[in-house]
Chain A
Amino acid sequence: MTFTRGPRNLTLTAHIVTSLGFLGAVGCFLALAIDGLAGSAPATLRAIYLSLDLLTWLMIVPLCFAAVITGVISALGTPWGLFRHYWVLAKLLLMILTTAVLMLHTRPIAYMAHMAAMPGFSPGDFVRQRVQLVVASGAAVVVLLGATILSVYKPKGMTRYGWRKSANASAVQDIGR
């Protein structure tokens, strides 16, 4: 089933907005996490780690799921398909991997926010967790940039399934002539 022009443009717009919003939100997370790693004033760090938790639950997680869902709908509603072209499949796998890693990292983020809210918060005790947040968000930015590049350049290459589908469609067209 392929969409007509209206729904196709609507889902594509939703996918672009949520995907780039996701990338932007993770970029903001990275900037705050770097500032949290470099800074030392407990009041500033408290504000940063509480903000990271809010940013995660109010922006990053919803945009991540929205990007995956709109991407799947958009792929299924166009001739690109979900499993026909390697660039679409690669993007899907990258997004599934990113979502899984993101959900795993919500725990250390919540932990840091929880500890930052404590009265006797001592940032020096949490260097490992602070580094973790920088590394994970940096890696996420790289993966999301990769997914964006795949979407723009659409490198050639069909999967075996896509090739078979395409060959079948050509054969049906030939019979119809």
Chain B
Amino acid sequence: MTEQTRYPGTPRWVKWLGGATILVAAAIIVLHLTGHGFGHGQGHGMTTPGEPQS
């Protein structure tokens, strides 16, 4: 394999973007798993529309 046909590797911007995306996704997952994320409706008994409120 000559120098011209060798794969030059992943560009730096892809590594930065991928790293940032993984960090944000991990933060969202951890927040949701620990109950600090949005969408839990703590204290408000979030129910599906039409579902009777307790």
Contacts and interface: CB of A to CB of B under 8 A. Distances in A.
Contacts of A126: 44
Contact of B49 (A110, A129, A131): A110
A113 B10 contact: no
A97 B41 CA distance: 23
Contacts of A125: 44
A111 B49 contact: yes
Interface residues on A, range: 20 to 34
Interface stretch (A3-11, A68-76, A154-162): A154-162
Contacts of A104: 39
A157 B11 CA distance: 6
A111 B38 contact: no
A155 B11 CA distance: 9
Chain B, interface residues (CB within 8 Å), range: 20 to 34
B33 interface: no
Interface in B5-35: 5, 7-8, 10-11, 13-14, 17, 21, 25
A129 B17 contact: no
Contact of A128 (B5, B14, B41, B48): B41
A163 B4 CA distance: 11
Interface of A: 86, 90, 93-94, 97, 104-105, 107-108, 110-111, 113-114, 125-126, 128-129, 131-132, 135-136, 155-157, 160, 163, 167
Closest 5 pairs (CB-CB, A-B): A114-B49, A157-B11, A132-B38, A86-B14, A163-B7
